[in-house]
Amino acid sequence: MDNFHPLESKVLLALAPQPGSPSTLDHLAASTGLEPSQLSMAVEWLLAKSLIAVQAETVAHIASLTPIGEVFFEKYAPIERVLSAAREAGQTGKRLTIQDIQAKEALEPSDVSKAVGTLKKEGSILIVQGGCLESTGRNSPTAEAMRALLHELRSGPRELQTFAEPLRAVLQQHAVKRGNAREPFRVDERVTRSFLLTPSGQEAADQLSRDGVAEEVSQLTPELLKEGAWRTKQFRKYTISLRAPRIAAGKRHPYREFLDLVKLKLVSMGFQEMRGTLVETEFWNMDALFMPQFHPARDIHDVYFVKNPTHARMIAEPYLSQVTEVHETGAGAGSTGWGYTFDAERAKRLVLRSQGTAVSARRLAASPSVPGKYFSIARCFRYDQVDATHATDFFQVEGIVLGADINFRTLLGLLNLFAREVAQAKEVKFLPAYFPFTEPSVEMHVRHPKLGWMELGGAGLFRPEVTAPLGVSVPVIAWGLGLDRMAMVALGIHDIRDLFSADLEFIRTMRGSF
Amino acid sequence: MPTISLQRDELEALIAGPGNTPSRLSVDQLEQWLMLVKGELKGHNPETGELRIELQDSNRPDLWCCEGIARQIRTKQQGAATAYPFFKKQKRADEKLMVAAGLEQVRPYVAACTAIGYRVTPSGLTQLIQTQEKLADIFGRKRRSVSIGLYRLAPIVFPVSYDLVKPDDVRFTPLGMETVMTLREILMVHPKGVEYGGIVSGHDRLPVLRDAKGQVLSFPPIINSREIGEVQVGDDRLFVEVTGTDLHMVALTLNIFAANLADRGAVIAPVEIQSPVKTAFGKRWHTPIDFGAPRTIPLKAIETALGEALGSKEVTSALKSYGYTVKSAGPKVVVQLPPYRNDLLHTVDVVEDVAISQGYARFAPVMPSQFTVGGLSRLEHMADRVRHLMVGMEFQEIISNIMGSRQDFCTRMRLDGSEWAKVVEVDNVMSLTYSCLRQWITPSLLQVETNSSRAFYPHRIFEVGEVAVPDASADVGSRTITMLGAVIAHAGAHFSEIHSCLDLLLYYLDRAFTLEPVPHPSFLEGRAGRIMLGGRAIGLLGELHPEVLEQWQIGVPAVALELEIDRLLDEA
């Protein structure tokens, strides 16, 4: 048999001595000494276990005073005040109208007119010429009853049934009803249930009284363990189907978890991580990538410029001269160049890094390994209105691959590898694309299990105009992956701004499937 | 790059060529063909037949129009480019255009031709105007380097002159206006004058195109004359001119227009340009002009770059069917671009055209085979260790934007006027909300607190991320630092809680730190510490000042920790 909560045991034992005779909650409260809330808890548990049953339900009507009734008790009911005002006027010979009473006694017009109506009906007053009230000297049974009821109920609620008929009628007449809340009395229904032990309850109670109530504990304590006292205790059973209380975990951000996974994949494919700075010169952000200084994407509306200082002090040589040369004449790279006058001052202009490729350009100029594979997950800034698809700053996953064996076909091979490893895609499509710094250029589309065909990234072979001035003589793949859409699908979100959410509840509950 | 709108049946007709029966293209076929032009179908309306196509290549303005797309596809289908007779050097031109002295200081170059025999249709006119706008706007950088004018040929009496005049000396009725205006008035009042006036500002004399009778054709690059410069449906004799600041770009733009009009059935006649100064084309030349030069490329270079031994025959036919003029010369090929292209800077440009012409599917992917070792930077490795320890101490990681406002990074932190209020600011601010880079992480975390008063407490949050700190000694005027920020917020948040976290973190990272009291406006006085490692400050921690919490509308006490992860490396 289950062991019982101490409250349950008390109720079972209280019901056991009088088998067959039902007890109300009031009786049980008296015999168990429990608080009403504890008692009703125990009764509900026992009912749920079918150890006790409801023997009968009786409905009692309980009369009590309303706040208005309290006021009437203090200041007398309107009917009494109207009557006494009429009597007083009779004695002093004054004429008294209904309006006079209202003003004198500061009563509600509706209360006065109701009182006058009753008093007139009962013959206690007359209404004479000019609407004046005149006392007849006769008592008002209603006024008497009202006074008695206010007195009686002042000391506490009473069952309606205990009042004699005339009083009961007045009480019901002046009780709060729908549409009439301004009344001195209220009558409430109270359901009184009485309980009996069921046969299994009887059995349980018998057992309890036989065995005595073993002392129950809710929590194992170091003391119980130390003294071995746990051996004589019973441990209360829990309702283990209840929902667990919420706790907060220490955990990684789900988007970071996604990026960590990408990082792991890239490292496991043999890529070295590169890092750069948030603020870059136009030189490394664009010039070194052979984007002519008049290129449309270098417009004021595409890049954020830094306010102070506006320019870097210098651009490292020989890169400045070599890049200048390649822009102007193409010399040193087997190119015609762009054929314009390169502005070295413009090259020093500081911008917020707008593309991760800037990190790759710096790497190319810093004696990269050959063969070599590099990646960066770089925060970039674009001059865009912030909306569901544009964040003020965002992560770009990009990198380079250098090697004597690099060509268009190995570029496609590398992209295939990315599609398989990073996007778990089996189907891949390569489309011609345009980037200012690569030729040939490729856009990779993959079939995503949920999104269908989507662009996974862009890549190409760096133009010799990029690599030669930076001192690199082997072919170099430049690649970039657009992973935000994949991340959003994995995290079940639809707004790119949610990747950078400031809502802790949202972050705590967000989870990814990747 | 540009997205253009065009009619499907018009595209089909142009692909077929004048006089041929067009064949219907399915959307799939169209997408396939669009690979030749790096075009992406952005939308199509089956009811109206409208196609919206985005063209990616900013060096191929010839493709930013219906005619150019059709030409590239037609060339592939026919195996070679259409020969345009007007690009051949001609002995004489019937019409002349004289350039006045002094224009070399303002807007030096002009190119022009006539086009006769194509009767302008409503959709043809729409396309002409779209091409004119896209070329002037994107290729011509908002008309600065190139602008284009189209005119009815009939009223023009040759020779046309390209002159410089005083702003008040010449008047005409511009397009879009009812009355005669001087050039100065146009610059002040006409919408196009207001929009593009900046291009010619600072010059006391302005460019104008006039005919032999003195009729104004236009005020380049601002606006055409209403009388001559408004081409209408039904016109079949046109005059086209291009002005600009770069001789080759101007010539190229006219070549594109000439080819486009020829593709629609017009006969193009050249105009002789006479310049007072010597240019790369001399002092007299005809436009359209084929100014390209042949280029000799070793076959091997193409094959090596593509990783495929295609052989001379395949390379030759690939380039021919992509519009090139090609001659095979043993181990080399001699190639020349068609006159409406000028984007051959390097052999690699030819390499890509071979690949595009053959289709990327022609090239089987090969895995790069050379071995490389992968790995993280020391900084990233350290940052990851810190993140894992913070997670172990039951902190939730946060990722925030790095861009924000001075209000958030300084003012609300009570830092204004202090040494901690230096931030990297943006010059061309789009919105005050995003005008600086954060110099520390704590404001990002307080932003989370502001938004999360209903998330159950305690809150333990952290971010490892980049910040930018102005530093005159740095190459780019600021240092990018990878920083740990952590905040604990709840009714009983206390200095010792965050102190314990720091203590444990640096214990596991084996860095022996000390704390020094620091008067920092963001923290309660006497409850903030500077974290010292090897004699250098590497961070801060403390109880946030109630005024800071008030500023952020945070209703519970909070303590914060800020630690430079870069500095942990220095001391390794």
Question: Is A104 a member of any domain?
Answer: yes
Q: How close is the nearest chain A Cα to the Cα of B145, in Å?
A: 10
Could you give the C-alpha distances from B283 to B88, B272, B278, in angstroms and in order? 19, 10, 5
CATH superfamily of B378-570: Bira Bifunctional Protein; Domain 2 (3.30.930.10)
Residues A224-270: tens digit of each pLDDT? 999 998 888 888 888 788 888 899 999 999 999 999 999 999 999 99
* Percent of chain A at pLDDT exceeding 70: 98
Does residue B569 sit at the A interface (CB-CB below 8 Å)?
no
Question: Is A229 a member of any domain?
Answer: no
> Distance (Å, rounded) from C-alpha A353 to C-alpha A337?
25
Could you give the C-alpha distances from B231 to A388, B125, B140, B192, B265, in angstroms and in order? 43, 8, 21, 18, 17
> Distance (Å, rounded) from C-alpha A256 to C-alpha A250?
14
Cβ contact B391–A273 (<8 Å): no
For residue A197, the number of C-alpha atoms closer than 13 Å in the C-beta half-sphere is: 23
Which structural domain range is residue A20 located in? 6-64+190-211
Regarding whether A153 and A77 lie in a shared domain, the answer is yes
Structure tokens at B242: 């291009």
Best interface-test mutation with A: which of B38, B42, B291, B352 has the largest number of A CBs within 10 A? Answer: B352
Cβ contact B460–A434 (<8 Å): no
Q: Nearest residue of A to residue B36 by CA position?
A: A432
Best interface-test mutation with B: which of A504, A507, A508, A510 has the largest number of B CBs within 10 A? Answer: A504
Best interface-test mutation with B: which of A282, A307, A359 has the largest number of B CBs within 10 A? Answer: A307
Does residue B345 sit at the A interface (CB-CB below 8 Å)?
yes
Listed range (A53-62, A413-422, B299-308) with the worst mean pLDDT: A53-62
Partners of B114 in beta bridges: B239, B269
Cβ contact A253–B394 (<8 Å): no
Residues B272-292: tens digit of each pLDDT? 999 999 999 999 999 999 999
Do the beta carbons of residue B563 and residue B445 sit within 8 Å? Answer: no
* Percent of chain B at pLDDT exceeding 90: 93
Give the pairing of strands A23-24 and A185-197.
Answer: antiparallel
Enter the ipTM: 0.92
Give contacts of A 394-453 with B, CB under 8 A: 401, 403-410, 412-417, 430-434, 436, 439-442
| Residues sharing a CB contact under 8 Å with residue A162, sequence separation 6 or more, in sequence order | none
Question: Is A148 a member of any domain?
Answer: yes
SS3 A457: strand
Helix (H) or strand (E) holding A144: helix A141-154
**Domain assignments of chain B as residue spans, ordered by start:** 3-78, 85-287, 295-361, 378-570
> Distance (Å, rounded) from C-alpha B416 to C-alpha B555?
23
| Residues sharing a CB contact under 8 Å with residue A269, sequence separation 6 or more, in sequence order | A373, A417, A421, B374
User: Closest to B401 (Cβ–Cβ): which among A277, A312, A392?
Assistant: A392
Q: How many domains does chain A have?
A: 3
User: Closest to A251 (Cβ–Cβ): which among B368, B391, B449?
Assistant: B391
Regarding whether A272 and A259 lie in a shared domain, the answer is yes
Structure tokens at B248: 């080759």
Cβ contact B476–A279 (<8 Å): yes
Q: Which of A167, A183, A199 marks a domain boundary?
A: A183
Give the pairing of strands A234-235 and A272-273.
Answer: unpaired
Q: Nearest residue of B to residue A405 by CA position?
A: B368
Q: Classify domain B85-287 by CATH number.
A: 3.50.40.10
Residues B183-224: tens digit of each pLDDT? 999 999 999 999 999 999 889 999 999 999 999 999 999 999
* One-letter identity of residue A514: F
As its CATH architecture, domain B3-78 has: 2-Layer Sandwich (3.30)
CB-CB neighbors (< 8 A) of A373 in chain B: 372, 374
Regarding whether A96 and A47 lie in a shared domain, the answer is no
Question: Is A428 a member of any domain?
Answer: yes
Q: Given the structure tokens 């190639």, which residue do they identify? A: B335
User: Closest to B365 (Cβ–Cβ): which among A312, A337, A412?
Assistant: A412
Cβ contact B476–A312 (<8 Å): yes
Best interface-test mutation with B: which of A314, A351, A434, A505 has the largest number of B CBs within 10 A? Answer: A434
User: Closest to A250 (Cβ–Cβ): which among B361, B371, B392?
Assistant: B392
Give contacts of A 290-349 with B, CB under 8 A: 294-296, 300, 304-310, 312-313, 330, 333-339
Question: Is A228 a member of any domain?
Answer: no
Q: How close is the nearest chain A Cα to the Cα of B210, in Å?
A: 31
A356 pLDDT more than 60: yes
CB-CB neighbors (< 8 A) of A459 in chain B: none
> Distance (Å, rounded) from C-alpha A173 to C-alpha A142?
10
CB-CB neighbors (< 8 A) of A249 in chain B: 394, 396
Structure tokens at A439: 């030729």
What are phi and psi for residue A224, nearest 5 degrees?
-60, -40
CB-CB neighbors (< 8 A) of B56 in chain A: 433-434
CB-CB neighbors (< 8 A) of B460 in chain A: 248, 250
Question: Is A249 a member of any domain?
Answer: no
Residues A73-127: tens digit of each pLDDT? 888 888 888 888 888 877 777 778 888 888 777 788 888 888 888 888 888 888 8
Cβ contact A439–B475 (<8 Å): no
Best interface-test mutation with A: which of B344, B372, B566 has the largest number of A CBs within 10 A? Answer: B372
Listed range (A143-157, A458-472, B170-184) with the worst mean pLDDT: A143-157
| Residues sharing a CB contact under 8 Å with residue B261, sequence separation 6 or more, in sequence order | B115, B118, B238, B240, B268
Regarding whether A130 and A46 lie in a shared domain, the answer is no
| Residues sharing a CB contact under 8 Å with residue B459, sequence separation 6 or more, in sequence order | A504, B396, B448, B449, B452, B487, B488, B489, B490
Question: Is A234 a member of any domain?
Answer: no
Regarding whether A308 and A453 lie in a shared domain, the answer is yes
pLDDT confidence band for B253 (50 / 70 / 90): very high
Cβ contact A252–B375 (<8 Å): no
What are phi and psi for residue B197, nearest 5 degrees?
-55, -30
User: Closest to B448 (Cβ–Cβ): which among A337, A434, A502?
Assistant: A502
Does residue A244 sit at the B interface (CB-CB below 8 Å)?
no
Partners of A442 in beta bridges: A432, A459
Q: For chain A, give percent helix, strand, coil, nearest 5.
A: 40, 25, 35
- The CATH class, in words, for B295-361 is alpha beta
Cβ contact A502–B351 (<8 Å): no
Which CATH number does the domain housing residue A125 bear?
Answer: 1.10.10.10
Regarding whether A151 and A109 lie in a shared domain, the answer is yes
Q: How many CB pairs under 8 A join A and B?
A: 276
Regarding whether A131 and A159 lie in a shared domain, the answer is yes
Q: What is the pLDDT of residue A2?
A: 58
Per-residue DSSP letter, A344: H
Question: Is A288 a member of any domain?
Answer: yes
Regarding whether A136 and A33 lie in a shared domain, the answer is no
Regarding whether A129 and A197 lie in a shared domain, the answer is no
Per-residue DSSP letter, A305: B
pLDDT confidence band for A387 (50 / 70 / 90): confident
Regarding whether A263 and A195 lie in a shared domain, the answer is no
> Distance (Å, rounded) from C-alpha B545 to C-alpha B529?
13
Do B295-361 and B378-570 fold alike per CATH?
no
What is the dihedral sign for C-alpha B30, B34, B40, B42? negative
CB-CB neighbors (< 8 A) of B394 in chain A: 248-250
Do the beta carbons of residue B449 and residue B552 sit within 8 Å? Answer: yes
Please give the model's pTM, rounded to 2 decimal places.
0.80
Cβ contact A406–B480 (<8 Å): no
Cβ contact A430–B427 (<8 Å): no
Residues A151-208: tens digit of each pLDDT? 888 888 888 888 888 888 888 888 887 767 788 888 888 888 888 888 888 888 888 8
Cβ atoms within 10 Å, residue B213: 8
pLDDT confidence band for A329 (50 / 70 / 90): very high
Regarding whether A443 and A366 lie in a shared domain, the answer is yes
Per-residue DSSP letter, B61: G
Q: What is the pLDDT of residue A423?
A: 86
